Structure 1
């Protein structure tokens, strides 16, 4: 599931990057109109310019025309624009040296000017006075959105344009000259980018309104309000608002543009708090953030009564504090919730970039262009799209969180009885027999008054982890959550009561495992200042479709088994009505095993062995598996004792050797020429008089190098005739077969066997390897075993590797081979071969 989510997120990010690339390419393509502004000499037009600042803002055009500074030659780029309340006089002198008249258009790239007056003079006489500012009446939407003036310059003549600019806000106004054709191209480009921006935002707002009507989550209203505030702010600042808002609304927005800016900030901060569900958090950074939000609300109210030139500096000063607060809040969430909040965290990047470029253009740090003039718009568009994706991710996360809360205990995060019921229902539907085992902490009810809820959760978690660790390599126990870092097999029914599901009915296996678990917990637990001794009880019940039980009855029977264990003072009890296989059932199972052997219905699973020096697959161990037609998977711990009791265990071993040779031959044909296959033999095989002859007969049927075969003999095996054991192993070694001592460390035999028998390989038991990174004692044993084996010339295989940390320790101590679930679980040969080809 995690890999699927990562793949989906990767595809989404790729598509978003592609769309943003298309937007940037589109913007760059239509950015050409500004490159066609007229400069001196184009089309025979000579241009000269000058400017003068009028601090009184009361000088008339006739007086301004007499100012030497205005008439002196100077570049508009040198004008010291500021928030000071003054008038700016600009002069353009245009001379047409050609005989033909020219139509010219002057464009003023600031639609927020309150006073914008143009005075055209020809031959020293006033020819025309045009008012384009907000104080002018009866202007069209286009004249307000894209202030411009078109006139005719006669051939071989000269005219002057005097431009007066006065406003409460940002006065900087780029003045651009165009031919009518180039100006129309500029207008079309503006309409294209404005229309796309407004259209996308309206569609997103409407869609989220639909979501709010269904989900009733206030964050969607805040998101829609943010979009509307953006349309209000940029509609005034850029000009497209004249096409989407009534005249009265747009004038109100213009007069309160600082408050409109603050509304955008207020909705941005509110969205962040709601998005991360922090509205009721009392964490310090969150408290600061909420207090600053209230300050911004108060500032927005105050700005209603202040002129723009007073309110704007306050707004910019407030931003100095806001950005660090936002960065701190986002950093907190980056650490805590990045898995589902990534899109929102990234959404700030285009907004900050676009927001930084706009002031840099206004202050002259960057030269203005069509693309840069609309950088904030494109940044906001990218941000809003990413916010929409973040909301979708948040919705998915909340669904997953709700499902998790419904199926897990809130204190321990362990699966609860709801997940147990769902898992059992699935097994019933699949007609899979199973056993339910309840695990009870003895005397827990008497302990509860003395420990806190957190200590109680801690205790249950400790017990659950111990059980999970012991069941880690037991495929017969159902995995309830395979997507977790470690497979989870334990259910938290209530305080003091856990449960596991056994996928078959194996009393011997269950009793052995539960005895081991009890031993692991015998040292007790320290809960705060209180030491607690621990003792467990186990109650099992069986469900089989042949017994016609109802599912609730199985749980009741397991509880009755617990009560039975309590009354009988036993650690493990089985529900009496459904004991382990009776004599008849055992005979039936033994007959089924013989039939499976005769009909070739058994299977060999392969588990890879990895060369730790090269990282490549060195070979595999083959493991015998039996899937009963009616009872499903029968664990080897069930049918191997049956095979031994009924005298067919040697036939099973010979079948395994034959099939292993067949698999090895096929592997070599597939190109794996140096591949090694390991298989297990038992003490009863060694004691069989015809064992060697039968092995020779099987090996003679397959053209395989025998040095690629390894027979593993369990350390704890007992053979009454040591000389027979030595003779058999010497004969196998003489054929070229490798001999391994399996499960080293679990038996009690002396080193005499290792010294006297022709072992070439030593396998360290998984009980010493699985917790190698946590147990110093086991690490010492493993390290010493590897050193001893190296001195004896034995190859070392470590089994039970679960984590990269354990693998790293084995590499550090020069272990040659490793196998375990960290690399791959045992699998049927056809699946294993497919995996091997892809490795």
Structure 2
């Protein structure tokens, strides 16, 4: 189009030709619709054409063909100007529409940004501030308390027995409960206090207060009261409880993460003390966690370097006085000669999963020791090993026991596995199948600490138990408490009627041993005869028995 207009100008009136009126429109099109290079190229071409027309005309090389003005010329100019104006108008209109669309999109982006910021700072279910925004609120509250000479406390609430709600009624019911609870918790607070959904069924409270902690005690009790009140969800009345831990910010220790950790530790202390209560943080809790961490690190190292040993406590026939079997007990001696109590490291080994490796070593070592003692002239000696529920989880227990028996050349009947009632309460087909396989192999089972759990007789039928071990808590006060004798007698008679042998733990004197014999108990073990002893001491005891 530019070339056409330029040609018309060369053939017509030159610089005075009406065709040049189209140049501005073309330049506008090029500026709006074309690239930068196209626009500047076209502008240079137009300027060059105008310059060339002027030079040629002034030099006499180009003679313009001027015509007498007529109405046709006016119409031609009108057409050029109208087309140019309409084109510019349409382009500007499109640009205005585009700007309008961009403005609307900008509004949507702003709304989306607000929504994203809310999602980033508030919990979608409860509408409470989330953990990220909670930290910002904590810093604001900390500054406020410093200005007003106040203290700042963090209260950590964790719901008790919340998982059964989800399991029984589904997660939607759990969500409704959390939503209703958040409204209740908000009603407990004033405008200077905040509640945050920390995650899952955990809530965090930021509470400014004056010097006395009485107000914190009142608030903690009110939170627990609101938590315990019944909920009506899906036409079902539900009731839960909550445990609260309280930690106070100090000048030396006011980091949000540290304070949350301390409140969390205090909350777990409340759970340990019976739940549905509250506890304040103190430094002993921190030390306990440090000790637990250090013990876990030492435990890993001890397992790798085989720092453990087995001691053996004899089980004595109350009728003959002979040693019938020995129970393998794990011992961990430190470099200074001190022994770490099994009540300290066994639960830690279970919770960390290390008990699987440690338990496999115990089974192997116990079988080897039993084989050595049997070769010394006691071919009928049996050995008992305690099992943890964790050892059943990977499904390798049967293989571990088979391998230990084969390597020690022991018959399966020489090994007795002691199971706690807590393991048997777990109605797990996976565990039952493993116990059935071990029973088929020839290994026998004893129910340890009988009487301290549910004492469900169906366990004895389901797991082919051959022995009941009466817990020491009934035995140690047997001769002092009139209430224990009928209970122990009932256990012994029940076991006898089911064809089970009874073993009494914790016998410490002859009077208790004699009474148990009269009651019909089969075997006993305890300090009356011997504590847990090294293997060589057991051999000596066997050699000197009647």
Structure possessing the higher radius of gyration over alpha carbons: 2
Which structure has more RCO (C-alpha within 8 Å, separation ≥ 6)?
2
If the TM-score is normalised by the length of the shorter chain, which range does it land in? 0.3 to 0.5
Query: Structure 1 length as normaliser, TM-score?
Result: 0.31
